[in-house]
Every structure is written in structure tokens, then in C-alpha cells.
Chains A and B, each alone.
Chain A
């Protein structure tokens, strides 16, 4: 596992909760010293969009107990910046249709959706 994913896991607060048969929720808080804020941007730290995607993959791996490879970002919208110290709720729903492992995820801060995206995973050749 790379250092970014380790730091994301360390930023989780509380346990993974299931709110439906395929729906998972967990809270995170990315502290000012979180590695993902480093250099993005100096004097104006914002959680990078790719770290938000990475957090969902990390949560799905943790919940599923096996590594996943990101095969596609089918769509993504990043509505508002996430700042250091904010409580972030990550929710995703996984489905398998036509043999494709698809994950619909949202990140929200204070009840407002800050990002929403659809990912496609592959378990093949994942090696973290």
C-alpha cells in the first residue's frame, strides 16, 4: 500500500457502517498535516480531487477485504473544496451489472454534497 492510502486510512473516524445491502458509509477528517494537502496548494490547502477518489477506493478495499484496481472514472463532479479539519462523510454503493464492478460514491461536508462520482473497479493485477 502506498503512503497516501495509508494516510487516508489513518484519517478515518469511527467504523464502517452499512446503510443498505450494497451501501457503505464512513466518516473521515483530514488534518492540516495530512500528506494529501502538501503542495496543494501552498497557503490555500484543498483536498485534491484524486485524493477524494483514492479515499473511496481505500474504503471499498477495506470493506471488501481485497485490493482493487481503478479501471475507469466514468464520471465525476467536484462541487466544492474540502478544507483541512472538515468532517467528510463518504458514502458509496457498489453494483455488479454486465460483469462490471461499479461504484457510485458521494462525499459530503456538513450535509452538503461536495463531490459525486462513478468508478469502475477491477480486481485483476491489483498489488497493494
Chain B
């Protein structure tokens, strides 16, 4: 499903394109960033900070899908914390990047999420994010 239906971010800050799968507390989102993206340099190499946002938006798409299934509008979500996020690879505009998220816990409008961004068989980033989810935010 197109991420634009599930998350409030819009281009150029929408960094995930599609939600590919949802299973229990997990989801997978796909990103293919264009060369003209503001986070790609002259060689097409993506800024490492993009991986953090991909995990955040991957979770937002997952949550937006659950909201959609329940007939609720997708709310806004804010990144409020990061823990032990390691960037171990690189990626370029045009690469197909998959972001896998797993809900570690959720409580009182907050969610703790484990995310991994992969490029082919390579993990390029992984870590833990904390997000604040605004119910009926739009």
C-alpha cells in the first residue's frame, strides 16, 4: 500500500514509498529515493540521517495501516528518542531499501520500536526509536 495513504509526511520529507507487509507487531516498508532527493549528494550517496527517518516513517506507516483497518484517520507521530542506532553501511539514490520494524512495546501514546534498514542482504542501519503518537492528530 502506498505510504502516502498512511503517513502525514509529504515529499520531499516522505522517505518511505510503500508498506509491503504487516504481521502482528511487525512491518516492512520500501524506499527508493530519487537522485534529486535533498539528502543525496552529487554522487547520489544518501545522508546517513535518512536511515533514522526511514525507521520512524516505517513505523508510522505500520501504525497508519492499523488505524486505517480500524476506520480511524492516521495520526501524526513524532520521534522523541533514539537509542543505540548504529549505521553500518551506505546507500545511494535508486537503491531499494527495506525498513523492517518491530514494536517492542507501546504505552500511553508512546511506542518503542526496533528498526533495521537493509540494502539487499546488507544491514545499513539498526537501532531503537521512541515515538509519540498523536491520536486523531489530523
Segment among B4-12, B20-28, B102-110 that sits at the interface with chain A: B4-12
User: Given that A2-B39, A41-B76 are contacting pairs, would A71 and B86 also be in contact in the complex, using a CB cutoff of 8 Å?
Assistant: yes
* A interface bracket (residues with beta carbon within 8 Å of B): 35 or more
Cβ–Cβ contact A50 & B85, under 8 A: no
Q: DSSP majority for the A interface?
A: mixed
Cβ–Cβ contact B41 & A78, under 8 A: no
CB-contacts of B1-48 with A (<8 A):
8-14, 38-43, 45, 47-48
Cβ–Cβ contact A72 & B81, under 8 A: no
* B interface bracket (residues with beta carbon within 8 Å of A): 20 to 34
User: Given that A39-B11, A49-B52 are contacting pairs, would A73 and B39 also be in contact in the complex, using a CB cutoff of 8 Å?
Assistant: no
User: Given that A35-B12, A50-B52, A77-B81 are contacting pairs, would A4 and B87 also be in contact in the complex, using a CB cutoff of 8 Å?
Assistant: no
Bound-state Cα–Cα, A54 to B11, Å: 18
Cβ–Cβ contact A3 & B38, under 8 A: yes
User: Given that A44-B76, A49-B52 are contacting pairs, would A72 and B9 also be in contact in the complex, using a CB cutoff of 8 Å?
Assistant: no
Cβ–Cβ contact B87 & A53, under 8 A: no
Let me know if B73 is at the binding interface, CB within 8 A. Answer: no
Bound-state Cα–Cα, A97 to B42, Å: 33
Let me know if B67 is at the binding interface, CB within 8 A. Answer: no
Task: Give the interface of B toward A (CB within 8 A).
Answer: 8-14, 38-43, 45, 47-50, 52-53, 56, 76, 78-87, 90, 127
Instruction: List 6 A-B residue pairs with CB atoms under 8 Å apart, sorted by A's residue number.
Output: A4-B38, A40-B9, A41-B10, A51-B49, A57-B49, A74-B85
